[in-house]
Amino acid sequence: MAVFYRLYQNNNENFVNKGKWYARATMTETVDMKKLAERIQRNCTAKRSDVWAVLTELVEVMQDELQASHRVKLDGFGAFKIGIQSKASDTVKDFNAAKHVKGLRVIFQPETKISADKTRTRTFLTGCTVQEAPKNAIEA
């Protein structure tokens, strides 16, 4: 299978490459936990309901661990942590979390495999190819 892309033109006045064309990944569908549980059930001995229970609990436990300032690493998958977006403070004494912290985000770092020739490949990208998405009537 391939990752689909569509071409888009950079029309941002602030960029030196204004007017140039780039590929942008496009998704064809969203796979939810129900579909994942059904597919996992087909590939192993666990029932869909058991997989669903584990995935649901994983989300809850990860939330607890992340909010306790822990990094959550899922072997073969990657690691998650919480990052903070903040405004600058002139001095340490002037910093006030309520005033300077502007938001939180979840940072995901996919697991990386290093080959014998020292090439790094993200787990989810091993063997990945790209292909232009099929045109539809709207684009024609």
Region class of 26: left (phi > 0), else alpha (psi between -120 and 50), else beta: beta
Distance CA 59, CA 63 (A): 6
pLDDT of residue 1: 75
pLDDT score recorded for residue 89: 94
Is residue 110 very low, low, confident or very high in pLDDT (cuts 50, 70, 90)?
very high
pTM, two decimals, is 0.75
Average pLDDT over residues 57-67: 97
Give the model's pLDDT for residue 121.
84
pLDDT tens digits, residue range 83-95? Answer: 999 999 999 999 9
- Pairing relation of β-strands 129-132 and 120-122? unpaired
> Residue 6 gets which letter from DSSP?
E
Q: Judge residue 37's burial from the number of C-beta atoms within 10 Å of its C-beta, 0-12 exposed, 13-18 middle, 19 or more buried.
A: buried
Q: Is the pLDDT of residue 75 over 90?
A: yes
Average pLDDT over residues 68-83: 95
Confidence class for position 139, pLDDT limits 50, 70, 90: low
Q: Which two tokens stand for residue 134?
A: 């099929």
